[in-house]
C-alpha cells in the first residue's frame, strides 16, 4: 500500500490516537475473477454504501470478529477488462481487502484487491503529502543556518489542524490549567461549544485562542451542555497542553491539621 502517512512530532504525538480514529479515503484497483456488466457492478457496489458488517481478514492485527463499519461513498472510476478502479471513503478500521472480497462474493464471481493507495487521513489529503525528503533537508538547513522558518512552516502543520475534524469545546482561561493537570471538564468552565456533539463523542478541548488543551469524551450532547450549568460535561482522556502553560486559577482545599 502507498499514500498518506501523517507523522507527528514532539507534543503532537499526543494526538496520534485521534488520527487513527478518523475517516480514511482510498483509491483501489480490484481484480474481478470473471466478467460482469458495468450496470451490474455499479448496482452491487452501491449496496455497500452505508453500514456494512465486516470480519477482519486472516492477516490482521485485531480480533477476527464481525463488526459494523460505515462506507461513506464508493465511486467507480474506471474499468479495464477485469480490473476495476474505484475510490472509497470509509470509517477507520475498514479493511479494503475484505471489501473487495465481499463485493466479489455479492457479484457471484469472486474478486481480490490488487493495489491500494490511501489518499486521505482525517484532514490530511494527498496533495499535501511530502514526497521528496530533500525538501525536509533543505528546510532544516535554512532554519539552522539562516534562521528562516518559511520552508519548515510550509511542511509542518500545527497539531490543531490534525484535530480539525473533531467536534470542539472552547473553555475559559481559568479552566485550562486544571484540565492540564488531568481534571475533567465541568460545565462552568465552558465558553462555547460546537453543534452536533453527542454523548460519547471524542471532542477536542481548546482555549479561546484555539490552542489544543486535551482530548475528552463528551458526557452530554450539545443541547444539554448549553442548557445546564452544573456537572461534568466531558471526561479528559488525553492531556495535550503542558501544565502551567496558563496560570493556575484553581485552589486546593487545605489539609486538616490535628494537634495532640
More confident residue, 116 or 252: 116
Average pLDDT estimate for 70-77: 97
CA-to-CA separations, 20 to 23, 24, 93, 97, 204, in angstroms, rounded: 8, 9, 9, 18, 15
Q: Is the pLDDT of residue 255 over 60?
A: no
Q: What is the structure's pLDDT at 251? A: 61
Residues 60 and 116 in one domain: yes
**Which of 126, 143, 158 is the endpoint of a domain?**
126
C-beta of residue 184 within 8 angstroms of C-beta of residue 235: yes
pLDDT at 193 over 80: yes
47 with 95, same domain: the answer is yes
Last residue of a domain, one of 72, 99, 126: 126
**Residue 215 resides in a domain:** yes
**How far is it, in rounded angstroms, from Cα 248 to Cα 31?**
60
What cell was used for 93?
Answer: 478500521
Co-location of 107 and 185 in the same domain:
no
DSSP 169: E
* Residues 88-101: tens digit of each pLDDT: 999 999 999 999 99
Q: Are residues 111 and 175 in the same domain?
A: no
Number of domains in the chain: 2
Residues 29 and 88 in one domain: yes
| DSSP SS3 for 189 | helix
DSSP assignments along 108-142, one per residue? TS-EEEEEEEEEEETTEEGGG----HHHHHHHHHH
Residue-wise pLDDT tens digits, 181-190: 999 999 999 9
| Claim to verify: residue 27 and residue 83 sit in the same structural domain | yes
Dihedral-angle region of residue 180 (phi above 0 means left; psi in -120 to 50 means alpha; beta otherwise): alpha
Q: Mean pLDDT score of the chain, rounded to an integer?
A: 90
Query: Which CATH number do you get for residue 205?
Result: 2.30.130.10
Which domain does 35 fall in, by range?
A: 22-126
Amino acid at each position: 500500500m502507498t499514500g498518506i502517512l501523517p507523522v507527528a512530532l514532539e507534543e503532537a504525538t499526543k494526538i496520534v490516537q485521534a488520527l487513527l480514529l478518523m475517516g480514511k479515503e482510498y483509491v483501489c484497483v480490484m481484480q474481478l475473477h470473471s466478467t460482469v456488466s458495468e450496470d451490474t457492478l455499479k448496482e452491487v457496489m452501491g449496496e455497500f454504501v452505508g453500514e456494512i458488517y465486516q470480519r477482519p481478514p486472516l492477516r490482521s492485527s485485531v480480533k477476527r470478529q464481525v463488526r459494523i463499519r460505515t462506507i461513506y461513498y464508493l465511486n467507480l472510476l474506471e474499468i479495464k477488462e477485469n480490473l476495476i478502479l474505484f475510490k472509497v471513503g470509509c470509517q477507520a478500521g475498514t479493511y479494503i481487502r475484505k471489501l473487495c472480497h465481499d463485493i466479489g462474493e455479492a457479484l457471484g464471481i469472486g474478486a481480490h484487491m490488487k493495489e491500494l493507495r490511501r489518499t486521505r487521513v482525517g484532514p490530511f489529503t494527498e496533495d499535501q503529502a511530502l514526497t521528496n525528503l530533500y525538501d525536509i533537508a533543505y528546510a532544516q538547513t535554512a532554519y539552522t543556518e539562516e534562521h528562516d522558518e518559511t520552508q519548515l512552516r510550509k511542511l509542518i502543520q500545527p497539531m490543531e489542524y490534525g484535530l480539525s475534524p473533531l467536534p470542539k469545546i472552547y473553555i475559559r482561561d481559568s479552566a485550562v490549567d486544571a484540565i492540564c493537570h488531568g481534571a475533567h471538564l465541568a460545565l462552568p468552565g465552558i465558553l462555547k461549544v460546537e453543534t452536533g456533539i453527542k454523548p460519547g463523542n471524542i471532542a477536542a478541548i481548546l482555549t479561546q485562542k484555539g490552542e489544543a488543551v486535551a482530548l475528552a469524551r463528551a458526557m452530554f450532547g450539545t443541547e444539554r451542555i448549553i442548557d445546564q450549568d452544573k456537572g461534568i460535561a466531558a471526561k479528559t482522556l488525553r492531556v495535550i497542553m503542558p501544565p502551567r502553560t496558563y496560570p493556575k486559577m484553581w485552589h486546593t482545599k487545605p489539609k486538616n491539621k490535628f494537634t495532640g
